[in-house]
Amino acid sequence: MCFCWFVCVCVCEYVYTDDWDIYSFHINSTVSSRYATTVITSRVANRMDESKEIEFQVRIPKNAFISKFRMFIDGQAYDGVVKSKEAAKQQYTDAVSQGQSAGIVSSVGRTLEEFKTSVNVAAHKKVTFELTYEELLKRKLGKYELQIHARPMQPVKDFKVDVYIHEKAGINIMEVKGGLSTNAMANAITKTHSDTQAWVYFYPTEDQQKTCDHCGEQGMNGDLVIVYDVNRDNSFGDIKKSSGYFVHHFAPSNLARIPKNVAFVIDQSGSMYGRKIQQTRTALIRILNDLAEEDHFGLITFDSSLFHWKRELVQATEENLASAKTFALQIQDRGATDINQAVLEGARMLNANPREGSASILILLTDGDPTSGVTNLEVIQSNVRKAIAGEFPLYCLGFGFDVNFEFLEKMSLQNNGVARRIYEDSDAELQLKGFYEEVATPLLTDVTMVYEGGINLTQTNFSQYYNGSEIVVAGQITDNDIGTFTPQVVAQRNRKVVNIQRVWAYLTVKQLLEKELRLSGPEKESAKKEALELSLKYSFVTPLTSMVVTKPPGESSDVLHKPKEGEAPQTPTSNVRQYGLMPSSLSLPLCYGVYGVVSLKLLHHPNKGQSFFSL
Ligand SMILES: *[C@@H]1O[C@H](CO)[C@@H](O)[C@H](O)[C@H]1NC(C)=O
Ligand SMILES: *[C@@H]1O[C@H](CO)[C@@H](O)[C@H](O)[C@H]1NC(C)=O
Ligand SMILES: *[C@@H]1O[C@H](CO)[C@@H](O)[C@H](O)[C@H]1NC(C)=O
Ligand SMILES: *[C@@H]1O[C@H](CO)[C@@H](O)[C@H](O)[C@H]1NC(C)=O
Q: Give tens-digit pLDDT for 521-564.
A: 999 999 999 999 999 988 898 888 888 887 777 776 677 777 77
* pLDDT band of 234, cuts 50, 70, 90: low
> Which ligand 3 atom is at minimum distance from the Cα of 534?
13
Paired with 145 in beta bridges are 227
Assess whether pLDDT exceeds 80 at residue 237. no
Task: Give the residue-averaged pLDDT of 214-241.
Answer: 84
- The residues lining ligand 3, judged by C-beta closer than 6 Å to any ligand atom, are 455-456, 476
* pLDDT band of 116, cuts 50, 70, 90: confident
Distance, CA of 538 to CA of 291 (rounded, Å): 44
User: What is the model's pTM?
Assistant: 0.80
Nearest to 535 by CA among 559, 517, 562, 498: 562
Task: Give the residue-averaged pLDDT of 595-604.
Answer: 30
Residue ranges and CATH numbers for the domains of the chain are 238-255+444-534+594-614 (no CATH), 269-439 (3.40.50.410)
- The residues lining ligand 2, judged by C-beta closer than 6 Å to any ligand atom, are 142, 253, 256-257, 441, 467-468
Distance, CA of 614 to CA of 247 (rounded, Å): 16
> Which ligand 4 atom is at minimum distance from the Cα of 446?
5
Where does 258-414 have alpha helices with state H?
275-289, 318-329, 339-352, 377-388, 405-414
Distance, CA of 486 to CA of 597 (rounded, Å): 6
* pLDDT band of 15, cuts 50, 70, 90: very low
Terminus-to-terminus CA distance in the chain, angstroms?
69
Instruction: Quote the ligand 4 centre to 456 CA distance (angstroms).
Output: 15
Cβ(30) – ligand 1 distance below 6 Å: yes
- For the chain, what percent of residues have pLDDT higher than 70? 82
- pLDDT, one tens digit per residue, over 380-406 is 999 999 999 999 999 999 998 888 999
Instruction: Quote the ligand 3 centre to 455 CA distance (angstroms).
Output: 7
How far, CA to CA in Å, does 546 sit from each of 58, 82, 87, 300?
A: 18, 6, 9, 43
> Which ligand 3 atom is at minimum distance from the Cα of 533?
13
Distance, CA of 474 to CA of 460 (rounded, Å): 9
Instruction: Quote the ligand 4 centre to 408 CA distance (angstroms).
Output: 24
- The residues lining ligand 4, judged by C-beta closer than 6 Å to any ligand atom, are 446, 448, 461
Instruction: Write the residue with the smallest CA distance to atom 10 of ligand 1.
Output: 28
Supply the pLDDT for residue 230.
Answer: 94
| Surface-to-core class of residue 417, CB atoms within 10 Å of its CB (0-12 exposed, 13-18 middle, 19+ buried) | buried
Distance, CA of 284 to CA of 432 (rounded, Å): 8
Distance, CA of 573 to CA of 9 (rounded, Å): 20
- pLDDT, one tens digit per residue, over 320-357 is 999 999 999 999 999 999 999 999 999 999 999 877 77
> Which ligand 3 atom is at minimum distance from the Cα of 508?
14
Supply the pLDDT for residue 258.
Answer: 87
Assess whether pLDDT exceeds 70 at residue 425. yes
Residue 45 belongs to what H/E stretch? strand 35-46
Distance, CA of 454 to CA of 476 (rounded, Å): 6
Phi/psi for 166 (5° steps) reads -130, 120
Determine the residue of 415, 449, 461 to mutate for testing ligand 4's pocket, defined as the one with the most ligand atoms within 8 A of the Cβ atom. 461
